A and B are shown apart, each in its own frame.
Chain A
Amino acid sequence: MSASHISQGTVFLQSTNFIDAAYIVAFSLLIYGMTGLTGPRTAVRGNKIAAVGMAVAVVATLLRQHEFSGSGTVWLILLGVVIGTAIGVPAALKVRMTAMPQMVAIFNGVGGGAVALIAWVEFRHGFVPTTHPLAPGGYPLRVEIFELFGAIVGSVSFWGSNIAFGKLQEILPGKPIKLPGQSLINLALLTVAVASAVILCAGSHSQALFILGILVAAAVLGNMVVLPIGGADMPVVISLLNACTGLSAAATGLALGNPVMIVAGMIVGASGTILTNQMATAMNRTVPSIIAGGFGGAVAAPVGGAGTEGGTVRSTSAQDVAIQLSYARLVVIAPGYGMAVAQAQHAVRELERALEAKGVEVKYAIHPVAGRMPGHMNVLLAEADVPYDLLREMDDINPEFPRTDVTLVIGANDVTNPAANTDPGSPIYGMPILEVDKSAAVVVLKRSMASGFAGIDNPLFYDPKTSLLFGDAKASVTEITAEVQAL
Chain B
Amino acid sequence: MNSLVIDIAVLVLAGFVGYTVISKVPNTLHTPLMSGTNAIHGIVVLGGLLLMAESSGVLEKVLLVIAVAFGTINVIGGFLVTDRMLGMFKSKPVVKDDPAPVPSGDES
Contact = CB atoms under 8 A, between A and B. Distances in A.
B1 interface: no
A38 B80 contact: no
B102 to A, nearest CB: 5
A221 B82 CA distance: 30
Interface string A157-187: 0000000000000000000000000000000
Contact of A70 (B53, B80, B82, B84): B53
Contact of B7 (A62, A110, A254, A382): A254
B34 A267 contact: no
A388 interface: yes
Contacts of B82: 47
Contact of B46 (A51, A58, A387): A58
B68 A274 contact: no
A57 B47 CA distance: 11
A31 B21 CA distance: 8
Contacts of A252: 44, 47
B52 A76 contact: yes
B76 A84 contact: yes
B79 A84 contact: no
B15 A67 contact: no
B69 A84 contact: yes
Contacts of B102: 385
Contact of A57 (B29, B30, B46, B79): B46
Contacts of A92: 76-78, 80-81, 84
B77 A89 contact: yes
Contacts of B89: 40, 43-44, 382, 388
A168 B72 CA distance: 23
A188 to B, nearest CB: 27
Given A92-B76, A242-B34, A270 B52 contact: no
A258 interface: yes
Nearest to A247: B41
Contact of B42 (A87, A95, A111): A111
Contact of A83 (B23, B40, B69): B69
Q: Which bracket fits the contact residues of B? A: 35 or more
B30 A110 contact: no
Contacts of B81: 92, 95, 100, 103-104, 107
Nearest to B53: A70
Contacts of B94: 387, 389
Contacts of B87: 44
Interface string A76-89: 11011101110111
A58 B79 contact: no
Interface string B14-54: 11111101111111111111111111111111111111111
Interface residues of A, number: 113
Contacts of B65: 76, 79-80, 83
Contacts of A267: 14-15, 17-18, 21, 37, 40
Given A48-B83, A80-B64, A383 B104 contact: yes
Contact of B34 (A57, A70, A238, A393): A238
B70 A84 contact: yes
Given A107-B77, A257-B3, A382-B89, A34 B21 contact: yes
A465 interface: no
A43 B29 contact: yes
Nearest to B72: A84
A40 B90 contact: yes
Interface stretch (A120-128, A407-415, A430-438, A443-451): A120-128
B52 A258 contact: no
B79 to A, nearest CB: 4
Interface stretch (A189-197, A324-332, A373-381): A373-381
A377 to B, nearest CB: 9
B38 A114 contact: no
A33 B107 CA distance: 24
Given A111-B38, A270-B15, A383 B107 contact: yes
A54 B77 contact: no
A57 B85 contact: no
Given A34-B22, A257-B3, A85 B50 contact: no
14 contacts: A34-B40, A38-B24, A84-B68, A84-B76, A107-B78, A125-B55, A134-B54, A250-B14, A260-B46, A262-B14, A271-B33, A357-B99, A375-B30, A391-B28
Interface of A: 30-31, 33-35, 37-41, 43-44, 46-48, 50-51, 54, 57-58, 61-62, 64, 66-70, 73, 76-77, 79-81, 83-85, 87-89, 91-93, 95, 97, 100, 103-104, 107-108, 110-111, 113-115, 117-118, 120-122, 124-125, 134, 142, 238-239, 242, 245-246, 248-250, 252-254, 256-272, 274-275, 353, 356-357, 366, 368, 373-376, 378-379, 382-383, 385, 387-389, 391, 393
Closest 6 CB pairs of A and B: A84-B72, A80-B68, A270-B18, A375-B30, A88-B77, A374-B30
